[in-house]
């Protein structure tokens, strides 16, 4: 049995693993894959490492955690439960028990919600420019959204695609000025404000979309579409355990990252912590606090 089960291997989970190990706690980090940070292009706001690719940064986090002997398990978590004072996490291939738990499963990309969306995933629709931008070299693509992730995606795509549309439902970007200033300098990027995608078309692959702008619709030919509508918290497993969440699905935490269930702590952008300011640095900070709180809880 471990002292603490850490669910999630993003900045929050790995930071928690580092601090838990430094406090002498036995810890296992359970997660499938490298997580969302690995999909980020250039990370330009993490102190001391500038700039750095998201995949490189999260790999550094993992190496750091392994150095402090945190056990790493690459597997999908199917369920979590509590029996008495013991927590159990079941994966596809094994089962792990611990005296406490840090829930740091982060968030996932929101979908468009259109009827044909699922059919075109991987056939024109993508949620990761870092992964797929090179597949659209010399082609025409659209980016949906107007916050930081959408603008960053458009910047990445502009280096490959012939034409990039940014389709945003509002009349003004929500992204940081440092990003929108870059967009204005890119000649192959066209912004469609006050616009939404009402339909996507294609036979075997995506080839067009119907765009509605201020009540008027038009069809544009597209080879690809990148959806950047933000994220939704991966809190489903926590809810089944009885952990309280807010209206937005985020896990409600106190300043020490504790939840309503004794022994269950949460960290990262799955929580209501850090004023819901979802950044790598705030996630890492919450992970550290959660690990310290587990130490206090167990001693």
Kindly list the catalytic residues: 128, 131-132
| H or E segment and range at residue 17 | helix 11-22
Residue with tokens 């999908």: 76
| H or E segment and range at residue 52 | strand 52-53
Q: Is there a contact between 211 and 195 (Cβ–Cβ < 8 Å)? A: yes
Q: CB within 8 A of 162, min separation 6: which ones?
A: 138, 139, 140, 188
**Does residue 51 have a cis bond before it (omega within 30 degrees)?**
yes
| H or E segment and range at residue 72 | strand 71-74
Residue with tokens 């616009």: 195
> DSSP states of 178-198 as a string?
HHHHHHHT-TTEEEETTEEEE
Please give the C-alpha separations between residue 90 and each of 30, 81, 97, in angstroms, as whole numbers: 10, 9, 9
Helix and strand numbers, DSSP H then E, in the chain: 8, 19
Question: Max Cα separation, the chain?
Answer: 64
- Gap between the Cα atoms of 131 and 214, Å rounded: 33
Q: From 104, 112, 105, select the one nearest 210 (Cα to Cα).
A: 112
């Amino acid at each position: 049995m471990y002292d603490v089960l850490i669910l999630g291997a993003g900045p929050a989970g790995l930071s928690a693993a580092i601090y838990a190990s430094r406090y002498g706690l036995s810890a296992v980090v359970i997660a499938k894959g490298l997580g969302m940070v690995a999909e980020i292009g250039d990370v330009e706001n993490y102190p001391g490492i500038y700039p750095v690719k998201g995949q490189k940064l999260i790999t550094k986090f993992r190496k750091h955690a392994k150095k402090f002997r945190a056990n790493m398990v690459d597997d999908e978590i199917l369920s979590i439960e509590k029996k008495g004072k013991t927590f159990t996490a079941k994966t596809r291939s094994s089962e792990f028990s611990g005296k406490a738990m840090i829930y740091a499963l982060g968030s996932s990309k929101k979908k468009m919600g259109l009827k044909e969306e699922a059919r075109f995933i991987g056939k024109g629709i993508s949620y990761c420019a870092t992964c797929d931008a090179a597949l659209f070299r010399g082609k025409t693509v659209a980016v949906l959204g107007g916050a930081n992730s959408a603008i960053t995606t458009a910047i990445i795509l502009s280096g490959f695609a012939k034409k990039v549309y940014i389709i945003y439902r509002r009349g003004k970007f929500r992204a940081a000025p440092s990003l929108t200033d870059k967009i204005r300098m890119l000649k192959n990027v066209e912004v469609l404000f006050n616009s939404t995608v009402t339909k996507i078309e294609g036979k075997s692959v995506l080839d067009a979309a119907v765009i509605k702008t201020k009540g008027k619709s038009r069809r544009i030919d597209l080879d690809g579409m990148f959806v950047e509508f933000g994220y939704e918290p991966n809190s489903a497993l926590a809810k089944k355990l009885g952990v309280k969440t807010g209206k937005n699905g985020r896990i409600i935490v106190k300043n020490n990252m504790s939840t309503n269930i004794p022994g269950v702590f949460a960290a990262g952008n799955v929580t209501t912590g850090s004023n819901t300011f979802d950044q790598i640095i705030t996630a890492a900070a919450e992970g550290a606090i959660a690990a310290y709180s587990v130490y206090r809880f167990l001693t």
